[in-house]
Amino acid sequence: MPQDTQTNRRIVLAERPAGLPDDDTLRMEEGPVPEAGPGEMLLRTVWLSLDPYMRGRMNDAKSYAEPVAIGGVMTGQVVAEVVASDIAGFAPGDHVLAGSGWQDYAVSDGTQVLNLGPSPEHPSWALGILGMPGYTAHAGLLRIGEPKAGETVVVAAASGPVGATVGQIAKIKGCRVVGVAGGPEKCAHVVDNLGFDACIDHCADDFEAQLKAACPDGIDVYFENVGGRVLYAVLPLLNPFARIPVCGMVAWYNLTGLPDGPDRGPQILGTLLRMKVKMEGFIIFDSFPREAQEEFRHDMTDWLEKGLIQYREQVVEGLEAAPGALVDLLQGRNFGKMVVRVG
């Protein structure tokens, strides 16, 4: 059931999941392709981004963004092609970055839509290394983590699109970089292709001891993407004045309640206090000033041109495969930035 020109397939939130999403969480619906009115344009989705934050939007909880409504189209960033346009600056054939979600077609008034031009070299990169994940890595590491040459930076989810970029930027800045990833294949990729100094498999029985051995001078920056066992292994290794940008906690996204004890609260607070550690959560959309994004675009374009940053995508074929791929992603079964080729 591929994309066609008559039908708009939409994947909507059928019910809020308890824990990991399952077959009842999302539902595909079909309808006619919508029509663009005056001052609007019709977009055809080409690439859909899959990201861990999507699990949070399925919850009806106080957060930085509105939850997806029951029956509403799942939220998501896409690269789309303009089919028809009544907006100056957007012409048929242009590729755009938009937030139109998990569907084949969408009508837009152009708000928060970025024109990538008629033939961008790597259209899907706007969803990854040149988009939100890349910007998240750049601003979170440099503006909160503030790594200095010679320091040790530990990066959780090191083979993921954010973590891989964080570690490579830290290498550019002259740091010792230790990744944490799930399984030997990912760890080998992180060291061999991305150039990290070491990468520890968090599934290993002796993960804590291996991490300690890989950080003989302690840890100055921990880029937090996962929470759980990795965080608790990092805490005892932190140096005075360490910084922890909190970007995600994917190990805990599917919790239905607080996990069993012991309560690590005293360990977390005690480490912050004794070691004078800063821990700061951030959301890329509103945590940084405007110039942060310009700085990111400038740096990343330069580094990609010079071959200093490697970037890996995992391509999922077809909109209908997106729900299962998101479950894989939430369980760490992706390898690189997950994008869905929709049309």
Binding site for a second copy (CB under 8 A): 56, 61-64, 224, 227, 231-232, 240, 246-249, 252, 255, 257-283, 286-287
Cβ proximity to a second copy: between 69 and 255 the closer is 255
Cβ proximity to a second copy: between 97 and 137 the closer is 137
Cβ proximity to a second copy: between 207 and 282 the closer is 282
Rounded least distance, CB 287 to a second copy, Å: 5
Pairing of strands 78-85, 41-49: antiparallel
149: left (phi over 0), alpha (psi -120 to 50) or beta: beta
Cβ proximity to a second copy: between 290 and 306 the closer is 290
Q: Which helix (H) or strand (E) holds 141?
A: none
SS3 category, 3: coil
Rounded least distance, CB 289 to a second copy, Å: 13
E strands present in the chain = 7-13, 26-32, 41-49, 78-85, 95-98, 105-108, 114-117, 152-155, 176-181, 198-201, 219-223, 238-246, 278-281, 313-317, 337-341
Pairing of strands 176-181, 238-246: unpaired
Rounded least distance, CB 272 to a second copy, Å: 4
Rounded least distance, CB 19 to a second copy, Å: 13
Cβ proximity to a second copy: between 61 and 88 the closer is 61
- Distance between CA 261 and CA 167 in Å, rounded? 32
CA-wise closest residue to 98 among 110, 83, 86: 110
Cβ proximity to a second copy: between 288 and 303 the closer is 288
Rounded least distance, CB 135 to a second copy, Å: 15
Rounded least distance, CB 241 to a second copy, Å: 8
* The one-letter amino acid at 115: N
Contact assessment for residue 94 and residue 81, using Cβ atoms and an 8 Å cutoff:
yes
Pairing of strands 176-181, 337-341: unpaired
Cβ proximity to a second copy: between 110 and 281 the closer is 281
Rounded least distance, CB 210 to a second copy, Å: 20
> What's 133's DSSP letter?
H
- Distance between CA 124 and CA 250 in Å, rounded? 23
CA-wise closest residue to 158 among 248, 232, 220, 240: 248
Which structure tokens are listed for 6?
């008559």
Cβ proximity to a second copy: between 65 and 213 the closer is 65
Contact assessment for residue 332 and residue 21, using Cβ atoms and an 8 Å cutoff:
no
Q: What is the CA radius of gyration of the chain?
A: 21
> What's 103's DSSP letter?
B
Rounded least distance, CB 263 to a second copy, Å: 5
Rounded least distance, CB 190 to a second copy, Å: 23
Cβ proximity to a second copy: between 56 and 120 the closer is 56
